[in-house]
Amino acid sequence: MPPLKSPRSASRRAGLPKQPASESQPPAHENGALTELPSDLSALAVILESAMASGTPATPVARNEPGEVDRQPPTSTPDVEADDLLLDAPDEEEERPRVALHATVAEPALRPQETTDREAAAFDEVARSLAAAEACVPLLAQSTGLMRIAALDVVKAETARAGGLLQLLRFLRGDISLPMTAVSTAAVIQRVAQAAEAERRLRGIALTSRSNIADATCVGDETLLTNTLLALLLITFGLIEGVQNARVTLSVTVNEAGELGLAVSQDHVPAPAAWTMRTPSEELPPNAGLVVAAISISAAHRLAKEWRGRFAVASGEHSSILTLWLPTTLRSDDLEPLAH
């Protein structure tokens, strides 16, 4: 015989009273200066928060089915555990399998991927960039002239840095699966130059783009290739920081084997030894500067491997060249003289 429902349950109503429509709408911002901020700043923070989660899932609460009577320990024995009470109650044999089933649901089916010290340091760097961008937001409304321009450049530079590094981290961790489509190198170079413009101005570095082809197409993901080249460009900016009249070149070329080369080069200082070492990046010390370079170079190696290309690091006495070689199909009559 099914259990009888309490007559008082019919009069109960769940839920909270609805709020007035005026309270649900956020107030409009009084200053229009913040419309110039990058629109993905909050999205980056949400992705970062989910990526840095410890991975310990919350234990689900077992809920009774409709019409099922709550099974609570008697009030006369408050010190007795629920499991002990079931063992001492032979007349509830039919309810034991259901209780055991609810207990097994609380255990996660898959263990989340653990975060290494290197990844944790890189996530901290992403968080630092987002915090720096957020700290400059009040300056946009309070300052004018050059101060406001500099604050806006900091926001743009830190947002671009955080967004690119975060995607490379997720790519290396295997958290994202990107579709392979036709990618225009001209579009990639344009996006990289635009993303790096704010940082270039802040550092006082000249950036030159050159190509011996009008355009070429490779197979991959345009955003991932853009962020990989941007990361290589930013670590090169950091390498020549403090150099007078510093200049970096972003070039596109095609070699005799028909490979498409996307290179970042400078003619001031040699490349650090860590850029050319073949040690796995997981074994590098979790230092912020070293980790960002390791993430950038590791992502370039992984991208080149998955796209059937190769990544090369060349260093001279006063120069460094980071080149992504990718397969492409290009006719010989598409070649143009290299710009100087």
Render pLDDT for 276-288 as a digit per residue (tens, 0 to 9).
875 444 454 555 6
In-domain check, residue 77: no
For residue 77, pLDDT beyond 50 = no
Which CATH number belongs to the domain containing residue 293 in this structure?
Answer: 3.30.565.10
Dihedrals phi, psi of 315, to nearest 5 degrees: -135, 135
80 in any annotated domain: no
Q: For the chain, give the mean pLDDT.
A: 74
Nearest in space to 315 (alpha carbons), one of 279, 270, 278: 270
Q: Looking at the domain assignment, is residue 15 inside a domain?
A: no
Distance CA 63, CA 182 (A): 50
Give the pLDDT confidence of 40-53 residue by residue, as tens digits: 555 655 555 555 55
The stretch 223-239 carries a mean pLDDT of 96
Whether the predicted pLDDT of 7 surpasses 70: no
Looking at the predicted structure, is the pLDDT value of residue 153 above 50? yes
Confidence of residue 116 (pLDDT cuts 50, 70, 90): confident
Across 173-199, average pLDDT: 93
Residue 2 forms part of a structural domain: no
Percentage of the chain beyond pLDDT 90 is 44
Question: Tokens 């207990």, residue?
Answer: 103
Residue 60 clears pLDDT 60, i.e. is over it: no
Q: Residue 104's pLDDT band (boundaries 50, 70, 90)?
A: very low
Range of the domain at 185: 117-334
Structure-token pair, residue 36: 């110039």
Q: Would 306 be classed as within a structural domain? A: yes
Number of domains in the chain: 1
pTM above 0.95, yes or no: no
Residues with Cβ within 8 Å of residue 204, at least 6 apart in sequence: 246
**Identity of the residue numbered 49:** E
Domain membership flag for residue 86? no
* Range of lowest pLDDT (15-24, 180-189, 196-205): 15-24
